[in-house]
Amino acid sequence: MSHPLAPHFHAPAGTVVGRRDGDVIRATGIRYARAARFQPPVAEPPATEPIQATSPAPACPQAPDALLGPLLGDLLAGLRSDEDCLRLSITVPADRRTDEALPVIVWVHGGSYVTGAGDLALYDPATLVAEQRVAFVAVTYRLGLLGFLGGDGGPPPNLGLLDLREALRWVQRNIAAFGGDPALVTLLGHSSGADAAAHLLVAEGTGGLFRRVILHSAPLGLARNRRAMTRALAAAAGPLPAAGNVADVLAREPVAHRAVRRFGLKASMPFGTQYGAYPLPAEAAADRAWRAAAPHVDVLIGATAEETRLFAVLDPNLRRVRRVPVVGAVLERVLVAVSSALVYGRAATAFARRHARAGGRAYRFVVVFQPAGAALGAAHAVDLPLLLGTEASWAATSLLGNTPWAEVHRAGRPVRQLWADFARTGHLPVPVTIPGVLHLQQG
């Protein structure tokens, strides 16, 4: 590094110019690859001029989220959208010693494979980085029709997954220049991001790119038997323009989504990874591939106690259940319990057990944190403010009810410690119970 307010990092990718921000240094919006529309990513060559890494990575173009908008507000506030979105952002402690090799956490954001971005304010890693002394890499990748459809003569499938693989390759080549240890890379994914991270374990060409994975709320219960739905989705989207205004592509997404509602629970996440399409194995071979990967990757996987309560509260169709006279509340609790188990809980347990039986180290967790004054209980995404974000960013949402930020920060500190320790060593002192926050056990 050089000037303290405009630190320079001399990496194989080129000289990266970041900025100091309080207790951390940020190098943001660094291009790791380029990709023409519907084409695989191509690694970014080394830069010949300094890389000015002081602006957030742009979000992949996306349609507004009508369901989560009322809860989370304008998620993309402060971010521009651009198809040239294959960027990553790095945050490290400002007081890092020159001889200090930091564990690396690579963040894969969620959003049902259709919304979100690596540099959302909700995902600000400054507290985690400064408090736990880690290097944090947030990746932005292609979503929706641009990144997770394809097949049958159309665009290639799994483009967003290939983007993530290319970002991990960039991290391996360059993170040491930022103080990170390339031998201690942990993938941290939430929701669809956790689903993507789980599938990166068995994707071709990812061996050695990461040592551990932390999977929050991975909807692995929706991962299988999707071929018919994917074909219907592609047929409804129709031929997609390979050039021109991206709005013409985005306009097809809601049309395609409506066309697959008949597929039931799986249609709640119609876009996603496709087995049998590069770089993933065939669906029948997936379990064997996960067992083969197990001895080489440590796993920490879990969910919140009431995952689908988020959707029960927000979805107008599901809210009608609560209004059923006399039995409405009971029906809602049963619906939430059953659907949470089907989509998240049982699959997480099965994933951890398979991993452990195949010779890997695995841990399972359940987040029970329930913010006071919120109707959502221990719902999907309630775990995120325990790890990421700031008081200002989460105050713009209604997820935390009237719980003071100081209480959220205090509840999250032992979780951040455990997660950072896992990134450092792969070991956790199980069983662990953090009252009112978390239960953790061996896989």
8 A C-beta contact, residue 31 and residue 86: yes
- For residue 267, which amino acid is it? A
How long, in residues, is the chain?
443
DSSP 8-state code for residue 58: P
- Please classify residue 180 by burial: count the beta carbons closer than 10 Å to its beta carbon, then call 0-12 exposed, 13-18 middle and 19+ buried: buried
Taking the C-alpha atoms of residue 187 and residue 170, their distance in angstroms, rounded to an integer, is 14
Catalytic site residue from 306, 355, 380, 393: 380
DSSP 8-state code for residue 155: S
Which residue is associated with the tokens 């920060």? 409
307 as an active site residue: the answer is yes
85: its two tokens: 């979105």
Q: ω before 414 within 30° of 0 (cis)? A: no
8 A C-beta contact, residue 60 and residue 85: yes
8 A C-beta contact, residue 134 and residue 103: yes
Taking the C-alpha atoms of residue 53 and residue 28, their distance in angstroms, rounded to an integer, is 5
Alpha helices (H) in 192-278, listed in sequence order: 192-200, 227-237, 247-250, 252-259
Name beta bridge partners: 365.
302, 440
Taking the C-alpha atoms of residue 85 and residue 59, their distance in angstroms, rounded to an integer, is 6
Strands laid side by side in the 135-139 sheet = 19-21, 24-31, 87-93, 135-139, 102-108, 180-190, 212-216, 298-304, 362-367, 438-442, 432-434
83 as an active site residue: the answer is no
Catalytic site residue from 112, 307, 340, 355: 307
- For residue 114, which amino acid is it? V
Catalytic site residue from 89, 112, 191, 340: 191
199: its two tokens: 């599938």
Strands (E), 109-145: 135-139
380 as an active site residue: the answer is yes
* Residues belonging to the active site: 191, 307, 380
